[in-house]
Structure 1
């Protein structure tokens, strides 16, 4: 059966034009940066996006940066004073967390890095959904997470566990990367499974050399009690006050960025998780403004473990595909640590030392990846796409999904980071930038 509509990409969004509808006088051709054209009517615009109404009456929001220069000029002309539409105003006195929640809609140049990121109190209020210790199944819920535990946990203990999860989600949402943290399709909350012993954890699929793992296949974060600071005192589990949740923060970052993982190089996936892990953190509060101290402390710790402050060949690292990465990390934990260390050094450079030192290039890169995630969401919401329990899906041959191939999709927007520069030039800039903050790094 041939579908009645045709589809195309504009800036990573699927939009639809149904030929069965009569023409509207307000319709005009819109062209994206790749030269693809649709017919739509202008509705409104903000500083970074435009809302278009299709012939069928449906409205779609498209990033301005993905439209042709001619279309951007047309949008500018729609303003009475001939200036681009202003960014939405932020309420006076709004906290950094509130302001950051809408950052994905601000132009990259207008975003700022937060200072202190504190988890909202309401986020860690615990609801008991089920408690059945005999069946080793107790289900607790915070605002954004659902925890399935093998043992009954007191509300105060569960609140302490949830604090790290919710704080990490708040942090990632607050950073100017523009990440929109939403649970995977079909889930009201992010899922976490808590196991009493490491044996239980490993039997459930957790890697033997890990303290916790996020599995993107079933969208579940798996972690044993010791890794979240739980210890048995008599017959009751209590929170260890000396517990360090660094590894947990790393994996939670993967979890809340799940929609982005398909479209990110592995060095960005691991580098961003290492970045959040290295930020000073205590009791639900991240010192995001202390990122340089966090970096230097991390470098000092890695040097103690025998790691050199180096990236090696920059092009090799930034363009490494997943098969090559897995081959290297499977050799030893030492090799894995090297790649993680190199990745956070690269991510930190692009976030704080590159160009205007505000991370503008990296933010634009992440915005382009956000566009890919939205395109994929739009694809799966289309009624012509059928999803199956095992993860497979089907679709009409003339309605293909966005590129999700691991050897191409993660590198589609890498040019936004390069910004016309060669790898050797960036390596030189990286060396000088790190030198300026007192760090000697080897990169070529």
Structure 2
């Protein structure tokens, strides 16, 4: 048996993920399950086309007109970037709640899942489509995410996935009497029973957002999970006792509660500890268990089904 064929790595400034190795035997089983045919190389030879002299003259006269049309068409084109940093020149055609249709330089149209695009591209789509509907004037659909959206089985395996963004944290609510403090990043909502500074929240939000980006980039369609009001819900607890009282397993560092669609985490598991009247983040805290639970939250429900695919949810969360 050959050595592992694929090595995936997430490189973050503070919270690197362990190397993800998938063996050739797994790939063979996966390809068989998906019934993907082996690649076939086909070589074709085309004879050069010959034109009569009158037709050549017509084409010469027509060339400037074609060039002018190409120039005008390119004015609407822009550079699109996916989550792996790959770029393509294309023109925006239309969008839905989950996909965008682009017109390529070849004239062909291609449909891509929105979760594969950069934040800049998503902002451009919102601006182009408008709040009331898409570019063609059709009513905008509800933006609720469905499990399994964004299938990407045909995408190449990324060599390296880097998360270099500085998570933007928004303070949504701070209710000292109710002990309910809510902070949000791009894809997550953190609900805590104590007040945290934005700097502390930003520190551990890197792990959540980078795991989200890493899972979405793998060609395994890990694009599911259920959102609560547009965000993945994370419940944070000041003490291990309050975590256990809320239903967390006593011997765990965190847990994904599939029935409630939430990940529950005691602050100590994130490396957050009290200092004076506030809290600080220990960036050297080991968080492999939490990454496991975060991945569970992102995994589509189909991967939890009994049978041939039941083993996959634990395997991908572990590696």
* Cα offset, 1:256, TM superposition: 1.1
- On the 8 A contact 1:104/1:177 being kept in 2, the answer is no
Q: Deviations over 1:220-278 (max 9, x none)?
A: 11010111110111121110122111111000000111434433644211110011xxx
Q: Which residue of 2 aligns with 1:101?
A: 116
Out of 245, 260, 269, the residue aligned to residue 313 of structure 2 is 269
Cα offset for 1:155? 0.5
Structure 1 pair 181–163 and aligned structure 2 pair: CA distance change class (3 A): farther
Q: Distance in 2 between matches of 1:226 and 1:167?
A: 20
Q: Distance in 1 between matches of 2:262 and 2:232?
A: 8
Aligned position for 1:221: 263
The correspondence of residues 285-364 of structure 1 with structure 2, limited to 5 A, is none
Range moving further from structure 2, 233-242 or 188-197: 233-242
Q: 1:147 to 1:258 in 2, by over 3 A?
A: farther
Return the alpha-carbon distance in structure 1 between the equivalents of residues 157 and 222 of structure 2: 13
| 1:202 aligned to which of 218, 232, 244 | 244
Runs (5+) with no aligned partner, structure 2: 1-33, 36-77, 88-114, 118-148
Structure-2 separation of matches of 1:98 and 1:149: 37
Quote how far apart the aligned CAs of 1:207 are. Answer: 0.6
RMSD: 2.9
Residue number in structure 2 paired with 1:174: 217
**Distance 1:98-1:180 versus aligned 2 partners, 3 A rule:** farther
Which of 186, 200, 208 is the matching residue for 1:143?
Answer: 186
Question: 1:195–1:201: 8 Å Cα contact kept in structure 2?
Answer: yes
Alignment CA distance shift 1:202-1:258 (3 Å): farther
Q: Distance in 1 between matches of 2:181 and 2:83?
A: 35
TM-score (norm 2): 0.52
Q: Is the 8 A contact 2:303 2:312 kept in 1?
A: no
Q: Structure 1 stretches of 5 or more lacking a match? A: 1-64, 67-89, 276-444
- Between the aligned partners of 2:224 and 2:163, the Cα distance in structure 1 is 14
The whole-number CA distance in structure 1 between the counterparts of 2:216 and 2:116 is 6
Larger Rg: 2
Q: CA deviation at 1:92?
A: 8.1
Which of residues 116, 132, 136 is equivalent to 2:175? 132
* Structure 1 position 115 matched with structure 2 position 115: no
- Measure the CA separation in 2 of the matches of 1:248 and 1:97: 26
Give, in angstroms, the shift of residue 95 of structure 1.
Answer: 6.0
Q: Is the 8 A contact 2:304 2:310 kept in 1?
A: no
2:153 touches 2:219 (CA, 8 Å); kept in 1? no
Q: Is the contact between residue 152 and residue 220 of structure 2 (CA under 8 Å) also seen in structure 1?
A: no
Report the alpha carbon displacement of residue 135 of structure 1 after superposing the two structures with TM: 2.2
Higher normalized helix content (fraction of residues): 1
How high is the TM-score relative to the length of structure 1?
0.38
